[in-house]
Amino acid sequence: MQGIMFSNLLAARINPKYFILHGLTVVWLDENGVPNDNSIYKTPENLAIVADVIANYETLAAEYTTKQTILKQIDDLEKTQTPRRIRDAINGTDNGWMAALESQIAALRTQL
């Protein structure tokens, strides 16, 4: 289990202001951000989330990695929308490039 991935998976489900990681150990914080084993954030629900992330780490990490890859692909495609290409699309001189690009982006978004 990787610490950064574990942290990302937890932070997707628990407010990251509620905990820090020491290695792979979850340390709960109080309202002031100070480690406190009696933190109000150390709830049965949050403990269940931690247990679920640990139990399903491999699957969740794979899903997270796939999602990040798709988001990067979308970002890369969106960066190709230069002002000139947008202008050409508006003028109808882009030979369908913008429509094809938007179709690619839409297809990727359906995978999220």
- In tens digits, the chain (112 residues) has pLDDT values of 899 999 999 999 999 999 999 989 999 999 999 999 999 999 999 999 999 999 999 999 999 999 999 999 999 999 999 898 889 988 989 889 999 999 999 999 999 8
Helices (H), 1-112: 3-11, 44-55, 57-79, 83-91, 97-109
pLDDT at 85: 87
- Give the residue from 74, 70, 54 showing the smallest Cα distance to 13: 54
* DSSP-derived secondary structure for 70-88: HHHHHHHHHHT--HHHHHH
| Residue 21, beta-bridge partner list | 26
CA 16 to chain centre: 13
pLDDT at 108: 96
pLDDT at 95: 87
Report domain extents, the chain: 1-55, 64-112
